[in-house]
């Protein structure tokens, strides 16, 4: 195990990839983790932030492709962080794509998130299943 704060070397990253390849699901696709961070627009109210959280909380019951879903505000422990994060796990890339295109997800983005969004960053990566 590495000491905290040290970057992983290329060799360790390669071993991680090999480990993921060995654990792929039938059909050659591994699980996908989606991570998205938001920075709210200036003037976003507590009520608007609550609507974002309520909307996100409703998605797992409405979108069957979601395997795990977590979200929450930044704790404010480091300067420059984004305000809010969402992490979702999906069986494979196809399941993630269905989630991304799902009407409930798209409506939440359009009607609740986008009006209070200043900035967004996201990444999807493969995880062990």
Q: What pLDDT, in 10s, does the model give residues 45-66?
A: 999 999 999 999 999 999 999 9
Q: What pLDDT score does 10 carry? A: 29
The three state secondary structure string of the chain is: CCCCCCCCCHHHHHHHHHHHHHCCCCCCCCEEEEEEEEEECCCCCHHHHHHHHHHHHHHHHHCCCEEEEEEEECCCCCCCCCCEEEEEEECCHHHHHHHHHCHHHHHHHHHHHHHHEEEEEEEEEEECC
Domains of the chain with CATH codes: 29-127 (3.30.70.100)
pLDDT of residue 13: 35
Residue segments in the chain with a per-residue pLDDT below the cut of 70: 1-28
């Amino acid at each position: 195990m590495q000491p905290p704060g040290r970057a992983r070397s290329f060799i360790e990253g390669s071993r991680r990839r090999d480990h993921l390849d060995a654990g792929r699901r039938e059909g050659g696709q591994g699980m996908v983790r989606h991570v998205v961070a938001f920075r709210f627009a200036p003037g976003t109210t507590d009520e608007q932030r609550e609507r974002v959280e309520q909307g996100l909380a409703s998605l797992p019951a409405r979108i069957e492709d979601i395997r795990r879903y977590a979200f929450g505000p930044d704790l404010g422990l480091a300067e420059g962080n984004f305000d809010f994060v969402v992490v979702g796990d999906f069986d494979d890339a196809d399941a993630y794509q269905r989630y991304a295109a799902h009407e409930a997800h798209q409506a939440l983005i359009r009607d609740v998130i986008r009006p209070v969004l200043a900035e967004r960053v996201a990444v999807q990566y493969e995880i062990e299943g």
